[in-house]
Amino acid sequence: MRPLTIEVHGFTCFRDSQPALDLSSHTLFAITGPTGAGKSSVLDAMTFALYGKVPRMGRGSVKDLISHGRDRLCVTMRFSVADRTCIVTRMIRRNGGPGVCQLDEQVGAATRTIASGVREVDEAVEHLVGLDYDAFTQAVVLPQGEFARFLKGAPAQRRQILQDLLRLGVYGRMHKLAGERCRDAKRDVEAAERQLVMHADATPDAIRHAEIELAGASQRHAALVETRDGVREARVQMETRVALARELGVRRQELELVRAADTEQRVRVDTIARARRAREVGAELAQHARDRETHQARVNAHATAQGRLAAAQAAAGEAGVRLDAAQRAFTDAAPLRTRAETLRALEGRLQHLDALAAECRVLARSHDASRNEVTARQTDLRTKSEALTQASEEVARLDRALASPTFDPLELQACERGRDIARELRSAREQGSAVDDLVRRAQANLRSAEEVTRAELAAVTEARAAFARAEAGRDESVRLLTEAQDAHRAMTLRRHLHPGDACPVCAQSVQTVPPIALAPALASLFDAQNEAAEACRTLAARVSQQQERHARADAAAEGARHQLATAEANRSALRDRITASMATLATDLARYLPASRSAMPEHWLLERLDDLQALRTEREARERRRQIAEAVRVDADHLLALAALALAGAEREAQVLADQQTARTAAHDALMTEIRRTTDAADPRAELATLVRQLADAEGALDTARVEATRHDTELAAAIEAEVHASRAMDDAQRALDAITARITTALSAFGFASVDEATAALMAEVDLAALADATDAHDRRRAALEAQVADLAARVGTVAASDAHLAASVSAERQADDAVSANLRRTTQLEVQLEAMRTRALNAVALHMQLSVARQTYEVYSRLATDLKADAFQAWLLRESFERLVIGASTRLMELSGRYTLQWADEEFVVVDHDNAQERRGADTLSGGETFLASLALALELSEQVQRAAGAVRLDSLFIDEGFGTLDAAAQDVVASAIESLQVSGRMVGIITHVRELTDRMPACIVIEKRPDGSRWRQD
């Protein structure tokens, strides 16, 4: 991944939209600016655009990245991966509104969307870049606080990062896939074996036996069908005769039942005759029934009216008693009304009394507050007077202090002008011994690197010679194997040749067949050829490894030469700076520098500058304190005058309030005496309210009693009238009932009925009478029909026996014939199915044998592959080899950078070897800040180089470093700068963030971050 352009808006310190930052033409550049300007935010914007989060964010929300005063942030980055150019855009809002997250690919002048949405874009970016977020921040962008994670992190985390970068995970996926396919193949083998067991019965003998049995079953089927048809015809005839006999028995039983119902038939005839006579007087009977019902209803209504009359008379009497009691109570309440009028006349005086009492309470509170204010004013006056005295004494003391002797400003100015030169001179003297040691170590490193180079060159020569011998041995083994194979083929042809046969090779007649000789053993020759080929591969890898080690040693030697030249140049430049600085200080400080301190003028200048600055700071502080004290004294004088005025005003106000309180209290007491002459009640208003409630209760009770008495009188009159009306109606109904009874008695005697009730009981509805007549006719017809059917059935059954036993025997014989036919048919079908199944299984068995052979071969292949790729063997070996190569390269770089330390790999941890302390081995946690930076940088640079060299690994087209340069001294900074400059040789983009001017000046390009009150800006120099 190589960033091309970056655009931001509202991102951390970049509040406003920035011009597009074009990085496409840079291979080595620095990002610089003051502290807090936003240098690291440039790399944060790049990381946020790709992964949607930044290392500094931690567990915080991404909304914390939005600039203060802005409602959203937007980052757009255009980057290249291999030969593809992509654009990623992320925009989020502070209020949680809809944002934007999109990844596009630029194809010429057009763009096409690759992914949209946070999850889809995250997955697409990881696929494009080839790194997840953690690997990206440890191999491409090395942010603040995260630089040493690979050096000091957990072993599992380091293994995962290296595995991701070198894409060693492909072997894990191969192992997983091989295991899955091995299990699938094993299941296929087991399934094929189980199926073969199920097909074991499909033999040729079993098939022939089934065919013979099927032919016999087919022949028996025709005879069984003919027998079954004869038995079935006999069963049908017997079934018909049995059915007729059953029908004859049923009809005879029905005829007996009909004859038994003749008595009921005669009763029905008599009932019909009585009903028809009663119908002649039906109208008079209906009228009589209606008059009787009316009479009974009138009797019931009269009884109800009498009950209501008695209840109304009792209620009216009770209401009269309650009315008399209410009138007496109302008359007795006359004195209460007189007392209530007297109390109402006092309402005005009571209101005036309440107003005076409230005013007296307000005046009392105001008077108390006024006295408290007078006391507070007196206390404040005393405090202000004491403050004025103290302020005057402080001004006088500071005036005396300012009159003491001070310092020479010219001397201070001269020392300040030479301060930077003195600091540089002191730093240069301190670096002198270190630079000399660096030169000596560089010379020793050069000698050691040259010896290693010569040794590696000899090893390369030896490896090439061994490889040449191995190739010669491989060619010889191939020649011997070819000859042996030819001999084997010749021996095979000889076994089948006889004198006079045509030669299968040249087609000539063979006169004499050579004797058959023993051919060489091919197995041993094949093993020899494989061993020779394996030796060639091993030695070829050894040659490649030795060449790589020789190239690395040669590069180390070249680095050592460059380091030596750089160290000598730095030592010469340091000595020139020391001489020039001492001459400048001697000239500028000639008037003040003591002769005894001229050899080390920088120490005297810095000490004297500290003293002079302290004197100047002290005098300035005294002047500021004197100004403050004078201002305090003036304020105290003014506040004292104001306090005196406030005290006088508070005393006058307190006296006025006391006079007003006395007058209002006297008026209140006089009015209270006048009210007491009318009533002694503590609360006259409460007494009046009680009287008013009592009078209202008496008046309400009287009104209620009057209304209730009137209502009961009205109800009594209505009840009397209702009772008279009911009595008259009852008498009229009795007379009508007596008249109809006299008229109907004579008519009933003429038709043979003794009473009205008997005639009423004989009446029948027209529908019921018709139904009874129909039933009589149906009985006669049913009897005649049954007698005819019995005679006909007796003639059809005849005299031959036809019982259920005979029918059961016929049915049993038919069932046995059907069972025989069905059994034979089922056996025939079963034999056909079995025969077809055996033929199919016989064919399937052949295919299963072939499948089993293929499945076993597949299982053996994937089983061997899964065993070879076991995660705890092959992959662990690959990671161990990768870590060892990484440590070797990083150790060389660390020695070049530090001149003191190398790295080793032990127990999955990085161990630092201190060559200046008797080859002491110690953990990486014991390194200082600068040493940790150098070790981490060496690892990062070597890791980047190895990833670039590894075939199939993630391509790291860029590297960004954001930490640690300020912890290095000048010599170390120069070495680190040289190492970083060497990275751009392969076309890789390298960016560093630093405020060290020496490093910035060495970079071919620089991005400057300007810090402003309204937000940071960037520009390219």
Same domain, 122 and 199: no
CB neighbourhood size of 177 (10 A): 14
pLDDT (0 to 100) of residue 4:
92
Which run of H or of E encompasses 818? helix 804-868
Closest by CA position to 967, among listed 930, 933, 1000, 927: 930
Same domain, 425 and 555: yes
Q: What are phi and psi for residue 982, nearest 5 degrees?
A: -70, -15
Banded pLDDT at 79 (limits 50, 70, 90):
very high
Same domain, 123 and 198: no
**In percent, how much of the chain has pLDDT > 90?**
5
Determine contact, residues 989/996, Cβ cutoff 8 Å: no
Give the tokens for residue 956. 């790291």
pLDDT (0 to 100) of residue 917:
78
Is pLDDT above 90 for 780? no
Same domain, 415 and 523: yes
Task: Round to whole Å and give the CA distance between 702 and 705.
Answer: 5
379 domain-assigned = no
Same domain, 458 and 560: yes
Q: Which long-range contacts (CB under 8 A, 24 or more apart) does 89-94 make?
A: 89/49, 90/48, 90/49, 90/52, 90/121, 92/62, 92/63, 92/66, 94/63, 94/66, 94/70
The domain tally of the chain equals: 3
Torsion of CA 14, 17, 23, 28, to 10 degrees: -20
962 domain-assigned = yes
Task: Round to whole Å and give the CA distance between 924 and 903.
Answer: 9
Is pLDDT above 70 for 950? no
Give the tokens for residue 558. 């070249």
What confidence tens digit (pLDDT) does each residue in 969-978 have? Answer: 666 667 677 7
Report the amino acid identity of residue 350.
L
Q: What's the mean pLDDT in 280-286?
A: 71
Q: What's the mean pLDDT in 120-124?
A: 93
Q: What are phi and psi for residue 110, nearest 5 degrees?
A: -105, 165
Q: Cβ contacts of residue 641 below 8 Å, gap of 6+?
A: none
Same domain, 77 and 199: no
pLDDT (0 to 100) of residue 506:
66
Which run of H or of E encompasses 98? none
Q: What's the mean pLDDT in 710-725?
A: 80
**Number of H helices and number of E strands within the chain?**
23, 15
49 domain-assigned = yes
Averaged pLDDT of the chain: 77
What confidence tens digit (pLDDT) does each residue in 204-227 have? Answer: 777 778 778 778 877 777 788 888
Is pLDDT above 50 for 359? yes
| Least confidently predicted of 45-59, 330-344, 912-926 | 330-344
Sheet order of strands, 901-906 included? 901-906, 909-914, 920-923
Determine contact, residues 178/866, Cβ cutoff 8 Å: yes
Q: What's the mean pLDDT in 679-689?
A: 72
- Chain position carrying tokens 């001397």: 411
- Of 540, 572, 589, at which residue does a domain stop? 589
959: exposed, middle or buried (Cβ count in 10 Å: 0-12, 13-18, 19+): buried
- Of 825, 842, 865, at which residue does a domain stop? 865
Is pLDDT above 70 for 520? no
Is pLDDT above 90 for 124? yes
822 domain-assigned = yes
Determine contact, residues 225/868, Cβ cutoff 8 Å: no
Q: State pTM to two decimals.
A: 0.36
pLDDT (0 to 100) of residue 574:
81
Closest by CA position to 48, among listed 18, 3, 15, 16: 3
Q: What are phi and psi for residue 97, nearest 5 degrees?
A: -70, 180
Buried b (16+ CB within 10 A) or exposed e, 100-112: ebbbbbeeeeeee
3-state secondary structure 175-190: HHHHHHHHHHHHHHHH
Most confident of 80-84, 650-654, 943-947, 955-959: 80-84
445 domain-assigned = yes
Task: Round to whole Å and give the CA distance between 814 and 273.
Answer: 62
- Helix, strand or coil, per DSSP, at residue 378: helix
Give the tokens for residue 929. 């800040």
DSSP secondary structure letter of residue 799: S
Give the tokens for residue 448. 């050691």
Task: Say how many CA atoms lie within 13 Å of 421 toward its Cβ.
Answer: 22
397 domain-assigned = no
What confidence tens digit (pLDDT) does each residue in 243-255 have? Answer: 777 777 787 788 7
pLDDT (0 to 100) of residue 516:
55
Is pLDDT above 60 for 161? yes
Sheet order of strands, 1017-1020 included? 141-142, 958-961, 989-993, 28-32, 1005-1010, 1017-1020
Closest by CA position to 374, among listed 166, 159, 155, 654: 654
Residue range(s) defining the domain that contains residue 484: 409-589
**In percent, how much of the chain has pLDDT > 70?**
84
Closest by CA position to 954, among listed 169, 326, 357, 349: 169
Same domain, 414 and 555: yes
Q: Cβ contacts of residue 917 below 8 Å, gap of 6+?
A: none
Task: Round to whole Å and give the CA distance between 667 and 671.
Answer: 6
| Least confidently predicted of 829-843, 898-912, 945-959 | 945-959
Q: What's the mean pLDDT in 871-887?
A: 68
pLDDT (0 to 100) of residue 120:
93
Task: Round to whole Å and give the CA distance between 889 and 938.
Answer: 8
pLDDT (0 to 100) of residue 77:
94
977 domain-assigned = yes
Same domain, 114 and 243: no
Which run of H or of E encompasses 79? strand 72-81
Task: Round to whole Å and give the CA distance between 340 and 695.
Answer: 9
578 vs 684 pLDDT, higher one: 578
Question: What's the chain's length in residues?
Answer: 1021
Task: Round to whole Å and give the CA distance between 406 and 194.
Answer: 111
Is pLDDT above 90 for 75? yes
136 domain-assigned = no
Determine contact, residues 75/7, Cβ cutoff 8 Å: yes
- CATH code (residue 64): 3.40.50.300
CB neighbourhood size of 95 (10 A): 7
pLDDT (0 to 100) of residue 951:
41
Give the tokens for residue 15. 């509040």
Closest by CA position to 963, among listed 938, 995, 997, 986: 995
Same domain, 582 and 439: yes
**Whole-number Cα distances in Å, 834 to 528, 825, 826:** 57, 14, 12
Task: Round to whole Å and give the CA distance between 761 and 768.
Answer: 13
Task: Round to whole Å and give the CA distance between 314 and 291.
Answer: 36
Same domain, 110 and 225: no
- CATH code (residue 234): 1.10.287
Same domain, 430 and 567: yes
- Of 865, 897, 931, at which residue does a domain stop? 865
pLDDT (0 to 100) of residue 622:
75
Bridge partners, 391 (sequence order): none
Report the amino acid identity of residue 693.
R
Report the amino acid identity of residue 769.
L
Task: Round to whole Å and give the CA distance between 571 and 561.
Answer: 15
Q: What's the mean pLDDT in 876-889?
A: 73
3-state secondary structure 722-774: HHHHHHHHHHHHHHHHHHHHHHHHHHHHHCCCCCHHHHHHHCCCHHHHHHHHH
CB neighbourhood size of 415 (10 A): 23
Give the tokens for residue 207. 């098939």
Same domain, 124 and 193: no
